[in-house]
Amino acid sequence: ETVEAVIMPVVSRNTIKRGNKKVVKLGDKEIVLKDSFRLFMQTKLSNPHYPPEIQAETTVINFTVTEDGLEDQLLFLVVKLERPDLAKKKSELIQQQNEFKVTLAQLEALLLEKLANAEGDILDDTELILSLEEAKKTSDEVKEKVVYAQETEAKINETSEFYRPTGSRGSLLFFLMCDLCKMHTFYKYSLDSFVMVVTRAVNSVTLRKPKEPKQEKVEEEKPEGEDEDGEDGEDGGEEKEEEPQEEEEEEEEIIELEGKELKQRVVVLENVITYFVFSYTRRGLLDADKLTVVSMMLFKILLRAGKVSHEENTILIRAPPDPNPPPIPDMAKSWLTETQWAQMKSLESVDAFKKSGKLLESLEQDALGWKRWFTEEKAEIADLPRSVRDLTPYHRLFLLRILRPDRIGGALTQFITDNLGTDYIEQPPFDMEQSYQESTCITPFFFVLFPGVDPTPVIEALGRKLSITEANGRLINISMGQGQEKVALDALTKSAREGGWIMLQNIHLMQAWLKQLERALEVIEEFSHDEFRCFLTSEPPGAMQGKLWDLIPEPILQRCIKVADEAPADLRSNLRRAYSKFSQESVDACLKAKEFKATLFALCFFHSLISGRIKFGAQGWSKKYPFNDGDLTICGEVLKNYLNNAEHLGTDVPWPDLRYIFGEIMYGGHITDFWDRRVNNTYLAVLITPELLAGANLCAGFKSPDAAKFEYSHYVKYIEERFPPEIPQMFWLHPNAEIGFLTNQGISTFKTISEVSGGGGGGGGGDISAAQPIITSYQGQLPANLDMIEIRGRLKEEDYTPFVIVSLQESDRMNLLLSMMRNSMTELELGISGALNVTDNMESLANDLQTNKVNALWAEKAYPSLKLLSSWFADLMLRVDQLVEWTKLLALLKSVWLSGLFNSMSFLTSNMQVAARSNNLPLDFMVNRCRFYNIREVSEVVGLPAQGVNVHGLFMEGAGWEDGKGEDEGYITESKMKDLHPQMPICNIYAVHIDEMDWNCMYHCPVFSTSLRGATFIFQANVRMDPDDFENRWTLAGAAMLTQDD
């Protein structure tokens, strides 16, 4: 996106006058610039962003193919493959018409020349008159032929038009593929590779057949030809030359279809092109993106076919809440959120829901029927309430999208199966041989690397079949690193010339060198041997860089066949793969074989648990840690060495030492979050114990086998035969964790579709004026700023207590946020009216308002939150109300809504300050202690607490809460099904000296602002447990408190 400085004088036309010549300075040379000089620059980037100086000095031409243009190109391609006779005839007609035009032009020029050169009376010039007659005759003949050619061309075009749906479908699919780069940086494709896939698809169902009878006649006539050869060598030679030409012309029999048969044929072609293109794309997709991509594709196909409307599809994808919904009825408040109620109100604009009457009225009148469906385990197949029982599967998705997002994945899967078939859901295992057949010497393979997956054995196995191995020098495997740059380029050139294979592994480590690789791949295209193949491997971008970080240059990705063959992520597969890293030889190398076998199996199970726990999101791990097979194998070596050492010294197994090395050094080396480290160490505390030798339970329903009776092969068999079906309880998590995981997955699917396709599946909308009604609604509700001058004017010097200072700080921050929101919406209104130029920030705000998303600039001034804009705004109003009440009173409230503060920790610190001052204790040794009442309504709180502060607005995640009896405090307990974030009772937080803090029967419970956890940590609360309970259970369950219910 930049131009070399050396040619900038040419681009900017920075010329110097030398006499009557213009010269331009290139480097240290002055070169004469001729008037006829033109400079053309071309980029390979699909969506470049050039700086203003380049745009001002050059004429930028967007030469990207359009959807209509590509449709015509693909139509011609399909017709050429299906009906080569028509394509050939049309090509001949075009050539013929061009010749006619040339002939007419020549005649005209000849006549004009003769007329110009004629002398005397032209009526006496017989030659000229004859020429005119000849020209008129020729012109008439040409015009007749032109008319006939036009009629023929019209017939050909009419027949070709029957195949237009295939071109339309192909064009739709290509532009969908182009949009996928918004999902992941590796999803980049070229038009050339796409055309090859379409060609392969059409050829796979071709109706063209060789003309067998003609071949038989040629074979019968061979002896005669031989006789003639003997008699007349020249004649025989001519016949030999003509026969192959006839064979080429009559090589295939064209089957002409008409009417119903032709329509059926076009449907077959549409389907086969769709499947081939999707299979080509799916092979390079990450598992997490496959359902999203096929859903996008199906929605676009249905839109193009007119089976669904653009407006309906936009509502399905965005699920916008109504700006002014009626109040939610009391009977629905227990199971329906305000946002869901507002979203259901928006569905009343969809025709399918108008037929069944008003949706919200139905929800009120048939509340029991709706709640019954809402609580169904598999809501996607359960009977809907009576008023909406006749909904189509497509419109059923609307209800699941809003009310049961955890089941939208299963519903989408079934919807795709019903409309496209099971082949789009069930992916066959990766077949290297089939992929090789699709490749050429100029299309490298690009393998995405995942933990536990190595493409090298697969490539080597195929190479052995084709006699291409490292032993015979035809396969070169280079692991990229410092100093390997020239070696790799030389080997690439050599393999390309000689027809060998080359593997360049881990190219993501060589960022600076990749431009050289890109150029080398272009150069070798000119001389590559047909058998040459290039294999590249790279890891995807890490969590720190993000999915869209440009790790590999776009031209390399476009030319490659991408393969993302992820290993299965289920617990059994993880355990199988982990245990396969060892062997019977590993067992035999340890002197304490029994202890080694039992502990190694538990270690592999531990590795499987922490790898599989990632899928449960922040409740599993707050970050995605790169645990890998190297951690496991090194731990296996450490285990062997420690056990051998213990055997030599005659001591017992050093269990605490092993747990420390595994948890704090090997695996713990990846972990940066304190609470994640606690989970990791707790797993080791319950798994790596002496009880392993006595057949302890590794998890629910899976025991550690008797190591004295089991050898390596027995353990392998035990995994295959005795491993139970995977459930969240095997991770020590509640089944609700899976509901949360599925809910996030469903929401993420539609969020990604909205970001990639612009919401409606048919391209993004740039109409910012559509945001005007939303702006008006929000501006009408937005409260005025708090009058800080008036508030501070009421305070005396002695009134500035820690709690009052917190209220003033919170009010200042709220004013900044309110001003930012008010000003940005006013600017956007002026932009919509044309009074101001529309900026990027205005466009972003308009889009966010329409997609119910909190604007980035607002979020920057606000507090951590995962809420959608409508619920975020309602939450903001409640926060303002609390600050108004607090600053009006200028004293501690009887219960503070802890969630409603920008900085909750500052309020808790002020609580410790007050206690430290009143008791004359050092602040550094003060801690907050929690005691939960048995009430949840603020109205039930009578006055200020005797000590500390009362807070409300806490929610539990990963566990439930059992209220106490009478004055007894409640305790943490098992979650109720589908109650992901139960509300906690009002809590009295008071500060004590650290020595007085009692953790007996208490769970060290982290408190976070949002369910993302991690950096949103606030403080550690003491949560009472049942006397018979143990803390490890809640640590592994991911139990934590949140200040917001997302």
Q: Return the H-helix or E-strand segment holding 849.
A: helix 840-850
Determine the pLDDT at residue 1005. 96
- Of the given ranges (27-31, 576-580, 652-656, 690-694), which has the lowest mean pLDDT? 27-31
For residues 409 and 379, the answer to whether their CB atoms sit within 8 Å is no
pLDDT in tens, 441-491: 999 999 999 876 789 999 999 999 999 999 999 999 999 988 899 999 999
Instruction: Report the C-alpha gap between 77 and 706 in whole angstroms.
Output: 66
Determine the pLDDT at residue 257. 73
Higher pLDDT, 249 or 24: 24
For residues 370 and 404, the answer to whether their CB atoms sit within 8 Å is no
Q: Return the H-helix or E-strand segment holding 989.
A: strand 987-993
Can you name the residues that pair with 1005 across neighbouring β-strands? 1021
Pairing of strands 926-932, 987-993: antiparallel
Instruction: Report the C-alpha gap between 573 and 581 in whole angstroms.
Output: 13
Determine the pLDDT at residue 462. 94
DSSP codes, 456-515: HHHHHHHHHHTT--TTTTSEEEEE--TT-HHHHHHHHHHHHHHT-EEEEE-GGG-TTTHH
- Helix/strand/coil percent split, the chain, to 5: 60, 10, 35
Q: How many CB atoms lie within 10 A of CB 954?
A: 23
pLDDT in tens, 948-976: 999 999 999 999 999 998 889 999 999 99
Q: Which residues make Cβ contacts (< 8 Å) with residue 628, sequence separation at least 6?
A: 451
Is 60 exceeded by the pLDDT of residue 94? Answer: yes
Q: How many CB atoms lie within 10 A of CB 823?
A: 10
Determine the pLDDT at residue 705. 92
Instruction: Report the C-alpha gap between 546 and 882 in whole angstroms.
Output: 38
* Nearest Cα to Cα of residue 175 among 275, 297, 62, 295: 297
Q: How many CB atoms lie within 10 A of CB 403?
A: 21
- What are the structure tokens assigned to 1002, written together? 């208490």
pLDDT, mean of residues 733-759: 87
Is 50 exceeded by the pLDDT of residue 762? Answer: no
Count, residues in the chain: 1046
pLDDT in tens, 157-173: 787 888 899 999 999 99
- What are the structure tokens assigned to 626, written together? 């790169």
pLDDT, mean of residues 38-57: 81
* Nearest Cα to Cα of residue 1008 among 618, 748, 670, 715: 618
Q: Where are the extended beta strands (E) located within 854-959? A: 896-897, 926-932, 949-952, 955-957
Q: Would you call 462 exposed, middle or buried from its count of C-beta atoms within 10 A (0-12, 13-18, 19+)?
A: middle
Alpha-carbon distances, residue 709 vs 112, 594, 704, 737, 924 (angstroms): 108, 9, 12, 37, 56
Can you name the residues that pair with 983 across neighbouring β-strands? 955
Instruction: Report the C-alpha gap between 778 and 873 in whole angstroms.
Output: 8
Across all residues in the chain, what is the average pLDDT?
Answer: 88
Determine the pLDDT at residue 82. 83
pLDDT, mean of residues 273-280: 96
Instruction: Report the C-alpha gap between 929 and 1020 in whole angstroms.
Output: 9
Alpha-carbon distances, residue 453 vs 449, 574, 940 (angstroms): 7, 11, 59
- Does this model's pTM top 0.85? no
Instruction: Report the C-alpha gap between 171 and 898 in whole angstroms.
Output: 54
pLDDT in tens, 486-524: 999 999 999 999 999 999 999 999 989 999 999 999 999
Determine the pLDDT at residue 253. 65
pLDDT in tens, 278-332: 999 999 999 999 999 999 999 999 999 999 999 999 999 988 888 888 888 888 8
Can you name the residues that pair with 22 across neighbouring β-strands? 17
The distance between the two most distant Cα atoms of the chain, rounded to a whole number of Å, is 133
- What are the structure tokens assigned to 242, written together? 């003509």
Q: How many CB atoms lie within 10 A of CB 214?
A: 15
pLDDT in tens, 816-838: 999 999 999 999 999 999 998 88
pLDDT, mean of residues 896-904: 94
Instruction: Report the C-alpha gap between 758 and 397 in whole angstroms.
Output: 19
Region class of 767: left (phi > 0), else alpha (psi between -120 and 50), else beta = beta
Cα angle at 220 between 218 and 222, to 5 degrees? 70
pLDDT in tens, 179-189: 999 999 999 99
- What are the structure tokens assigned to 694, written together? 């006595």
Determine the pLDDT at residue 254. 67
Determine the pLDDT at residue 144. 81
User: If pLDDT is split at 50, 70 and 90, which confidence band does 211 have?
Assistant: low
Higher pLDDT, 546 or 999: 999
Is 60 exceeded by the pLDDT of residue 247? Answer: no
Q: What are phi and psi of 952, to 5 degrees?
A: -135, 170
DSSP codes, 78-103: HHHHH-HHHHHHHHHHHHHHHHHHHH
Cα angle at 431 between 428 and 434, to 5 degrees? 115
- Inter-axis angle of helices 571-579 and 629-649, to 10 degrees? 50
pLDDT in tens, 370-387: 999 998 988 999 999 988
pLDDT in tens, 1016-1033: 999 999 999 999 999 999
Instruction: Report the C-alpha gap between 39 and 192 in whole angstroms.
Output: 26
User: If pLDDT is split at 50, 70 and 90, which confidence band does 238 have?
Assistant: very low
Alpha-carbon distances, residue 837 vs 27, 53, 773, 821 (angstroms): 41, 21, 20, 19
Q: What are phi and psi of 702, to 5 degrees?
A: -140, 110
pLDDT, mean of residues 221-249: 42
